Amino acid sequence: MPEMTGGVFWEHLHRLVAGGLVLIFGISTWLTKDATSERPWIFRACLAGMGLLIIQSIFGGLTVIYRLPDLISTTHLGLAFLFLVLVTILASATGPIPKVESHHPERKDSITIFASASAALIFVQSLIGGLVRHMDAGMACPDAPLCLGELVPPLVNPTITLHFTHRLIGILTAVTIISLSFWIIRISAPKPLRVLGLFASALVITQVVIGFVSVLTSLSVIPVSLHTLLAAGILATLVRLATLAQLSPQPISPTSKMRAG
């Protein structure tokens, strides 16, 4: 145990939490083998998660050894978000799955596809955000909502281009997620799915605001950290939405029972 002061505190705490995560997920994987024997895919997904954690640990070590290289550090973030996707699916599949009543059960597949596409967008946006951070492009456009005082700045170097791309995809992602939320409400989707859609919209609006605050405060630690946390929250919410839409059982109506009889 080093002396837990300054940056050492956060770096070593990160390692300790990572070790605890490996231990907890390892126990979960062991318990899953017998508890979900009727659904073997869950155990296989847990094994894949253990593999992801091992690879993640390796990239974490490489990040330190090679002193935060851009691509390795961004890959480290990407693996963390992939693991988040996996455990969200597992938690949703093994936890209570609400029965949903819908006049159009076939639309659940459409919700799954739309939510999954939105989750893919936020994942890509998070990777670009990681590159923005590690390539020191966070202040390439020091103003907001304009960039260098213009709607479209002169893309004269990689840092400005990367920063502006992050903003553009951020807008696209926000519009997509808010559109998903309104669409779920318009088709009268089941309440659990509507709540998740509205929650994702609220998170993404907050995320946009925090992104601008991060720039206007010259990348202060709290808003920048909150920006990453909100990205993870949006991703987990969308993955849960897609998973529940796919796995939620459709109650059998009395008419269906009579037909079955």
More confident residue, 197 or 7: 197
Residue 172 predicted with pLDDT over 60: yes
- Per-residue pLDDT band at 4 (split at 50, 70, 90): confident
Residues 10-55 have pLDDT tens digits of 889 999 999 999 999 999 999 998 888 899 999 999 999 999 999 9
Instruction: Provide mean pLDDT across the span 76-99.
Output: 91
CA–CA dist 47, 55 (Å, integer): 13
Domain spans, the chain:
9-98, 104-250
Instruction: Give me the half-sphere count of Cα atoms (radius 13 Å) on the Cβ side of residue 187.
Output: 20
pTM for the predicted model, two decimal places: 0.90
Q: Which of 87, 169, 160 is nearest to 127 (CA)?
A: 169
CA–CA dist 111, 117 (Å, integer): 10
- Residue 59 has a pLDDT of 94
Instruction: Provide mean pLDDT across the span 175-185.
Output: 95
CA–CA dist 214, 140 (Å, integer): 12
H helix and E strand count, the chain: 8, 0
Residue 3 predicted with pLDDT over 90: no
CB neighbours of residue 49 within 10 Å: 21
Residue 102 predicted with pLDDT over 50: yes
